[in-house]
Amino acid sequence: MNTFDTVADLRAQVKQWRSDGLRVGFVPTMGNLHDGHFALVDLARQHADRVVASIFVNPTQFGPNEDYALYPRTPDGDITGLAGHGCDALLLPSVAEMYPFGTAGCVQMHVPGITDILCGRHRPGHFNGVATVVARLFNMVQPDVAVFGRKDYQQLQVVRYMASEMAFAVEVIPAPTLREPSGLAMSSRNRYLDASERTTADTIYRALQAMRDARRQGDPPGRIEGVGERMLLDAGFVVDYVEVLRADLSRPREGSEPGLIGFIAARLGRTRLIDNLDLQ
């Protein structure tokens, strides 16, 4: 695996691959990689001849009271893991390389509507930062396909909307959520959980399963959400939201609608966890 810290050098490599008729896949990450990330690389490999990953902790998607400075950075282990999963190239840029005019003076992206709900309501400006950095990365790497995990479902939808609206020549492929044996969705932020919190954290998945059971019984969305919220509150979580939405993130009229998804964001100690589950 070759590692590049400048866009120009990476583009030269991608240009060579394209001249050889090869298809390029892309997996953007913020590092601190785990098996869920490596599964994205494996999926990208199924759709491409060469796979590029990026590691960049993006400052523009962190709010003033969030954990940008504390976000875990493990480049040595990340590089070893990516190489072990057959990644062909890694883009490891500096903030200056990504934002040559600084983060305050950068051109920003905004996806209307779906960025104002769920995590967007609780983290103002977060998805502007996500859309901004992903647009830059798509332009820098110019992949044929890019893989994003379904655990961050709202992010996936924001990227899909942005890529379609801006006519990026990239196919956005969703990857299933990878889970711990307990059902806890794999996340870099799981490292913040102490032993007791980690035991409690799987309540999120059990709450989503209970919501699915309520949906199968024909309960309306409000009652389904109440089932999940009660379980989380009883377990000691501070709940940001428990919501039932359609796949396009619009609000359903009744619980018996097909294609509904349950969404949860809740805090356990200092750790904010998110998850979602198809309620079919």
Q: Name the helix (H) or strand (E) containing 239.
A: strand 238-245
Residues with active-site annotation: 37
Q: Distance between CA atoms of 52 and 87, rounded to whole angstroms? A: 6
Which residues partner with 238 through β-bridges?
267
| Burial (CB count <10 Å: 0-12, 13-18, 19+), residue 250 | exposed
Q: Distance between CA atoms of 163 and 28, rounded to whole angstroms? A: 14
Classified as helix, coil or strand, 163 is helix
Classified as helix, coil or strand, 67 is coil
Residues 6+ apart with CB under 8 A from 248: 157
Going edge to edge, which strands form the sheet with 271-278? 238-245, 261-268, 271-278
Instruction: Give the orientation angle of helix 126-141 with respect to helix 153-165, to 10 degrees.
Output: 60
Tokens standing for residue 146: 């890019």
Sign of CA dihedral 41, 273, 261, 119: negative
